[in-house]
Structure 1
Amino acid sequence: MNLNEDKRLAWLALATVPGVGPVRIRQLIRNFKTPEAILNAGRTDLESLPDIGPKLASLIAREADFERAEKQLELLEKSPYNLALFEADEYPETLKNIYDPPPFIFYEGDLSCLERPCLAVVGPRSASSYGRMMAEKLVRELIEAGFTIVSGFARGIDTIAHKAAIDSGGMTAAVFGCGIDTIYPPENRTLYRNLVLNGCALSEFFLKERPEPKNFPRRNRIISGLSLGVLLVEAGEKSGALLTAQHALDQGREVFAVPGNINSRTSKGTNRIIREGAKLVTSAADILEELKFLVPSSRPVNENRLAPHLEGAQKKIYDILSNQPIQLDKIVKQAEMPVSSALEILLELELNGLVRQLSGKMFVKQF
């Protein structure tokens, strides 16, 4: 087994330890740097970390299932699927910025579709005719505007969104709540084959893992984490789509919703979140207006436009920024300066119309 295979094996084995999820793995990596170092650490070193304790330290030291991890690598070797580790270049950059990013993702297709501006489109499995019509309309308009459409591959609005994106000549990404070798729902097999030729399918769950109910809330945070915002086409009062919207808010993403009939069961959730502050959407123009500073303009760029004359720390901070959102902690790390100093400079740049602050302590250049 080569060095790369050793690393993949260590990541997979670490994920098999009971009680060690994405947040815990991130904490451990922050302290031990590599999964190999975590798995080779002594119990005393593990117990010294906050919130680990003797029980979890013992599990990490003894319960990593290397046999199961090796089986995953064997399945990968015989399949069309790939594995992107958190540290890999192909791992989606937007996903790295959420609180609990998966340590790796299994995928098929072209992950580069996620480098475009992405918007999640979600809704109920039992969509109304109005919901289906609005999903198709909005997805067509979003594809024309250059978005990749992200959804969860479920029956109903998810399936309609993926199909509309492909039929419009665009790109789409499906996030699974099971292994990506388990096509669920099974009637979407043809859609899956078309989807991986026009985007990608991805999952944090091991190959052969079944679609258990507990998996879908975890899937939903990835749907929102990959996206600049989440569009709810329809949602009942207890719809899982509302959970995706909550993840979006927690991650500093925008939330959009299509208004519906006040007497319709499938619009009660969307109408409520509009009252609570979600952006009302009747066309893609409403979304583009809200995201105009996050989506690269389709207009020709004036190559002769003068860059602002900046010096010293201001120039250093400004050069780190782009038209893609970047979190404050990353700016601080790249600029190698205290948080207070970086915030002071960012405020100066914002007052000069050069920078815009977004929710979630994220910043973009103002063009």
Structure 2
Amino acid sequence: MHDPLPADDDELRAWLTALRTPGLGPGGLRQWLDRSGGDIHAALAQLHRDGATFDPAARAWLARPDEARLAQDLAWLAEPGHRLLRCTDADFPPQLEHIPQPPAVLFVAGDPSLLLHPQVAIVGARAASASGMAHARAFARTLAGAGFTITSGMADGIDGAAHAAALDAGAKALAVIGTGPDRVYPRKHHALARRLAEHGALVSEFPPGTAARPDHFPRRNRIISGLALGVLVIEAGLRSGSLITARLAAEQGREVFALPGSIHNPLASGCHRLIRDGARLVEHASEIVELLAPAARSLGLELAARLSEEGAGEAVMTTVADPDYRRLLSALGHEPATMEELVQRTGLSTGTLSSMLLMLELDGRIERRPGNAYQAMPLPLQA
């Protein structure tokens, strides 16, 4: 006879059981959660009672889940740096709540707080040209230096170049993948996947063991565009999957940027179509930074309100006990300071500073100013 699971594992097991129910999907799981007040155990109990509404495979799974498969899922989650981020968690990214068909859970290898950071998605052709790869690296470095997390899909070409450039610059990068979190696709990106898990995050809505399938990548794309404040397309043919990401971004109310190219380059035709359809033509990363700064501020305010409602604000406020945070607050002084100035004053990396600045902004201790500068807020007078 097996010992009972610890309470946390028992709850995770319930989520995994529901997640793997055939035919349920993220939308169905969210509906059952809504009916049960967000309680996964109550949702599973209702699924058992109303199982007749599902197909035979779902009824069979709910009656007798594959314990070996669930044990493998739990073993993956038990490894350091792994997390099942649930839509009922206070730190589930609020920007995903406003997209069509939001995910119910996200498997994360790495730092889950990156999903709360202001992000720019950089996507484009797998068979990119040398100049396209150079553009991806340059834009990623500049945007990361401005405090944005670089998000993409870890595909070959533009995606991988953007991820690697951000990491090489000491900044953060986030990859949303179309496989389980324990799989790497394409296989050539094993080293990149390890770097992302160590210095950024790998994110998937698919459970461990899920192989790559063509229909997974459009589903992945809605999460890439949903997490980001804007999507930059660098080189895309007329049938590129990057155009799907751009279309989803536009439908989700995100900004879409496209880099123009030569009329003789077939990989520029997709970008030119996007521009004709209303995407913003950009030539310099500073254009993106200037346009997205207000949206980044709005995201911070929304997140702060959500954390306050969930009673999680105390966790944010404890960050200032850290000596690095005290050093940063001292370096800010009374005048606005840019990211470059703060790097020089503190000796901290851009990636570290961007994370710290976000937490301080959510705590109301600093304010983002025009030109991607930051200023300390005056402390309230004591009564």
| TM-score (norm: length of structure 1) | 0.75
Say which is worse superposed, 217-226 or 15-24, in terms of deviation: 15-24
Unaligned runs of 5+ in 2: 311-367, 371-383
Q: 1:247 maps to what in 2?
A: 248
Indicate whether 1:14 and 2:12 are aligned.
no
Q: 1:278 maps to what in 2?
A: 279
CA–CA distance in structure 2, aligned partners of residues 119 and 11 of structure 1 = 30
For residue 40 of structure 1, the aligned residue among 42, 45, 49 is 45
Secondary structure at the aligned position of 1:324 is classed as: helix
Contact 1:9-1:66 within 8 A present in 2 as well: no
Contact 1:11-1:103 within 8 A present in 2 as well: no
Q: 1:27 maps to what in 2?
A: 31
Q: Aligned runs of 1:121-270 on 2, under 5 Å?
A: 121-270=122-271
CA–CA distance in structure 1, aligned partners of residues 12 and 66 of structure 2 = 11
Name which structure has the greater RCO, CA cutoff 8 Å, separation 6+. 2
The Cα of 1:284 is off from its aligned counterpart by: 1.2
CA–CA distance in structure 2, aligned partners of residues 121 and 150 of structure 1 = 6
Contact 2:229-2:255 within 8 A present in 1 as well: yes
The Cα of 1:57 is off from its aligned counterpart by: 7.6
The Cα of 1:18 is off from its aligned counterpart by: 2.0
- Alpha carbons of 1:295 and 1:55: their partners in 2 closer, same or farther (altered >3 Å)? closer
> Could you list the per-position Cα deviations for residues 151-183 of structure 1 after superposition, in whole angstroms to 9, with x for gaps in the alignment?
101110010000110112211001111012112
Contact 1:23-1:99 within 8 A present in 2 as well: no
CA–CA distance in structure 1, aligned partners of residues 226 and 150 of structure 2 = 13
Q: 1:63 maps to what in 2?
A: 61
Unaligned runs of 5+ in 1: 48-53, 297-321, 335-364
> Could you list the per-position Cα deviations for residues 2-42 of structure 1 after superposition, in whole angstroms to 9, with x for gaps in the alignment?
22222211111112222211122222211122232222127
CA–CA distance in structure 2, aligned partners of residues 187 and 236 of structure 1 = 23
- Alpha carbons of 1:148 and 1:80: their partners in 2 closer, same or farther (altered >3 Å)? closer
Runs of at least 4 residues off by over 6 Å:
none
The alignment's C-alpha RMSD in Å is: 2.7
Contact 2:91-2:116 within 8 A present in 1 as well: no
The Cα of 1:215 is off from its aligned counterpart by: 0.9
- Alpha carbons of 1:194 and 1:46: their partners in 2 closer, same or farther (altered >3 Å)? same
- Alpha carbons of 1:46 and 1:249: their partners in 2 closer, same or farther (altered >3 Å)? farther
Contact 1:182-1:208 within 8 A present in 2 as well: yes
Q: 2:361 maps to what in 1?
A: none
Q: 2:363 maps to what in 1?
A: none
Secondary structure at the aligned position of 2:203 is classed as: strand
- Alpha carbons of 1:125 and 1:42: their partners in 2 closer, same or farther (altered >3 Å)? closer
Percent of aligned pairs sharing the same letter: 39
- Alpha carbons of 1:170 and 1:143: their partners in 2 closer, same or farther (altered >3 Å)? same
Contact 2:19-2:25 within 8 A present in 1 as well: yes
Contact 2:23-2:58 within 8 A present in 1 as well: no
Contact 2:229-2:296 within 8 A present in 1 as well: no
CA–CA distance in structure 1, aligned partners of residues 76 and 200 of structure 2 = 22
Q: Aligned runs of 1:334-353 on 2, under 5 Å?
A: none
The Cα of 1:250 is off from its aligned counterpart by: 2.2
CA–CA distance in structure 2, aligned partners of residues 66 and 100 of structure 1 = 27
The count of residues paired between Structure 1 and Structure 2 equals 301
- Alpha carbons of 1:128 and 1:21: their partners in 2 closer, same or farther (altered >3 Å)? same
The Cα of 1:211 is off from its aligned counterpart by: 1.1
CA–CA distance in structure 1, aligned partners of residues 47 and 299 of structure 2 = 44
CA–CA distance in structure 1, aligned partners of residues 180 and 237 of structure 2 = 27
Contact 1:109-1:200 within 8 A present in 2 as well: yes
The Cα of 1:126 is off from its aligned counterpart by: 0.3
CA–CA distance in structure 2, aligned partners of residues 325 and 240 of structure 1 = 32
Contact 1:293-1:366 within 8 A present in 2 as well: no
Q: Return the structure number with greater helix share.
A: 2
CA–CA distance in structure 2, aligned partners of residues 59 and 178 of structure 1 = 22
